[in-house]
Chain A
Amino acid sequence: DQQVKQNSPSLSVQEGRISILNCDYTNSMFDYFLWYKKYPAEGPTFLISISSIKDKNEDGRFTVFLNKSAKHLSLHIVPSQPGDSAVYFCASSAVHYNQGGKLIFGQGTELSVKP
């Protein structure tokens, strides 16, 4: 049962344009959502997060949008840079139901930003 889904395995974007990565979840108890970036041979690096009480969180070039009714979140990167090329993982947690804070990850989307 895949509770967090990233349906696009890959995305290619031109440098300077917007990158939009999508994520869907099924578990209504999820109340905290994160995006991680992963380069080859490295562990995932935290990028940005959002609580379910918000619908948008912005940090520099990165913005995460949450649509609770659709159980959908997206990560926008503007403008995209070649250094953004990596695998992006969406992760969800049910913080108030599972105090352990374990993360449920999607399958990842490989972003390629072309110069």
Chain B
Amino acid sequence: DTGVSQDPRHKITKRGQNVTFRCDPISEHNRLYWYRQTLGQGPEFLTYFQNEAQLEKSRLLSDRFSAERPKGSFSTLEIQRTEQGDSAMYLCASSLGQPGQEAFFGQGTRLTVV
């Protein structure tokens, strides 16, 4: 296992289109997180899963955003009716879920909405 994998690495889409990103966590990790990072800022928490259950969502996650982790393995993040303000780096991370256990990040998906 080589770590957290995200696909695609880059996505350019027209405003109003739907996009979907995929994240494959480290295989034994039961927690999976989605973060968003814009230029000059640190990553901002969006949502997280404990196995297949989505346990917390940030207020940043509007109704146009939906995340799933159907079998507790990989996860998808879908953005419907994209807006220019959605342009950002979307980062996925996973962890073992033990207190104080660090999260390991993927390389991210860079979304550009034109």
| Chain A residues at the B interface, C-beta cutoff of 8 Å | 4, 6, 9, 32, 34, 36, 41-46, 49, 51, 89, 91, 95-96, 98-108
The answer to whether A103 touches B103, judged by C-beta atoms less than 8 angstroms apart, is yes
Which of A36, A42, A96, A103 is the most central at the interface, judged by chain B CB atoms within 10 Å of its CB? A103
Question: With A96-B99, A107-B42 in contact, do A102 and B105 touch (Cβ < 8 Å)?
Answer: no
Neighbouring B residues of A41 by C-beta, 8 Å: 107
Neighbouring B residues of A42 by C-beta, 8 Å: 107-108
Q: Closest chain A residue to B41 by CB distance? A: A107
Neighbouring A residues of B67 by C-beta, 8 Å: none
Neighbouring B residues of A89 by C-beta, 8 Å: 42-43
Question: With A44-B43, A101-B31, A102-B45 in contact, do A49 and B102 touch (Cβ < 8 Å)?
Answer: yes
Which of A45, A96, A99, A101 is the most central at the interface, judged by chain B CB atoms within 10 Å of its CB? A101
The answer to whether A43 touches B40, judged by C-beta atoms less than 8 angstroms apart, is no
Q: How far is the CB of B31 from chain A (nearest CB, A)?
A: 7
- Asked if B111 is at the interface (CB within 8 A of a chain A CB), the reply is no
